[in-house]
């Protein structure tokens, strides 16, 4: 059984087989303003549902990317030295390594294994992301998602999409992986300076991606808590309602409340 607690934005606690894994740590208080570069920025609108000092032990962090503060803010960064292994992009591992942070960098479709005495090992495979429109990589940088596989898994891998739009790299997940649970970063991120260009999945793309991947369970995150998230839960619910074969698979998690999947 897998237990997931959505803490806010892209941050979730995943518990399985004694492991406690944290995605994209964001624990700053509400009200802060952030600049992401190239004229983009945002404001944090809500508090994390669980404070950083209430987390308990974290065995590993699954960090899609380190260079945007809506995925790793100051309070989240301060947690990393005490969090065991940090799995992230290769560039991110180079930036984060040292100062007590044990970072491992993964290129898309490369794998590493989390191991600890008395626990079932977890194989973690990085999956492709493109955090924006075509040709945006020099601006937005490297991002990865994560596919988690362990012995005894019943319904396919647990896949965390990371911040991405729908493109061929993400479609490759459908061809290469049998996905049991898909944790999808939504939000339809846009910025005034780049007009209609998007930097994460919107509801329609999430539906299209889910039709390709065919997960047994769909868990939306990264749709609330920040000003630059342009599509909230209601928008995604409308999109999934138009796909009744998928709507019954969507599991909305109450912030701060553990959910068994």
The model's pTM is 0.97
pLDDT confidence of residue 252? 98
Number of domains making up the chain: 1
Cβ contacts of residue 50 below 8 Å, gap of 6+?
5, 7, 13, 256
In a domain, 30, yes or no: yes
In a domain, 141, yes or no: yes
Q: Which residues of the chain have pLDDT under 70?
A: none
pLDDT confidence of residue 40? 87
pLDDT confidence of residue 61? 98
pLDDT confidence of residue 193? 85
In a domain, 258, yes or no: no
The boundaries of the domain holding residue 33 are: 3-253
In a domain, 260, yes or no: no
pLDDT confidence of residue 182? 98
In a domain, 198, yes or no: yes
72 contacts 25 by C-beta, under 8 angstroms: yes
- The residue ranges of DSSP E strands in 89-208, in sequence order, are 102-105, 111-114, 122-128, 144-150, 157-160, 179-185
In a domain, 225, yes or no: yes
pLDDT confidence of residue 141? 94
In a domain, 84, yes or no: yes
pLDDT confidence of residue 138? 87
CATH code: domain of residue 64:
3.60.15.10
In a domain, 259, yes or no: no
- pLDDT tens, 218-238? 999 999 999 999 999 999 999
pLDDT confidence of residue 192? 87
């Amino acid at each position: 059984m897998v237990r997931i607690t959505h803490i806010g934005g892209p941050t979730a606690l995943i518990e399985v087989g004694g492991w406690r894994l944290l995605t994209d740590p964001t624990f700053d208080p509400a009200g802060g303003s952030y600049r992401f570069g190239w004229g983009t920025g945002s404001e944090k609108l809500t508090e994390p549902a669980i404070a950083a000092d209430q987390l308990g032990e974290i065995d590993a962090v699954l960090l899609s990317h380190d260079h945007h503060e809506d995925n790793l803010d100051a309070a989240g960064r301060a947690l990393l030295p005490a969090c065991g292994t940090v799995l992230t992009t290769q560039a991110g591992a180079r930036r984060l390594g040292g100062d007590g942070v044990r970072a491992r960098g993964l290129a898309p479709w490369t794998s590493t294994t989390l191991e600890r005495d008395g626990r079932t090992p977890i194989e973690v495979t990085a999956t492709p992301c493109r955090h924006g429109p075509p040709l945006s990589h020099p601006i937005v940088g490297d991002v990865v998602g994560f596919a988690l596989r362990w012995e005894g898994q019943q319904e396919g891998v647990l896949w965390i999409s990371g911040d991405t739009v729908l493109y061929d790299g993400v479609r490759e997940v459908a061809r290469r992986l049998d996905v049991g649970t898909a944790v999808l970063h939504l939000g339809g991120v846009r910025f005034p300076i780049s007009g209609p260009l998007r930097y994460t999945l919107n509801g329609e793309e999430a539906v299209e991606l889910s039709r390709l991947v065919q997960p047994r369970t769909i868990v939306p995150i990264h749709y609330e808590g920040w000003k630059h998230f342009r599509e909230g839960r209601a928008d995604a619910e409308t999109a999934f309602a138009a796909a009744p074969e998928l709507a019954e698979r969507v599991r909305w998690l109450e912030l701060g409340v553990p959910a068994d999947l």
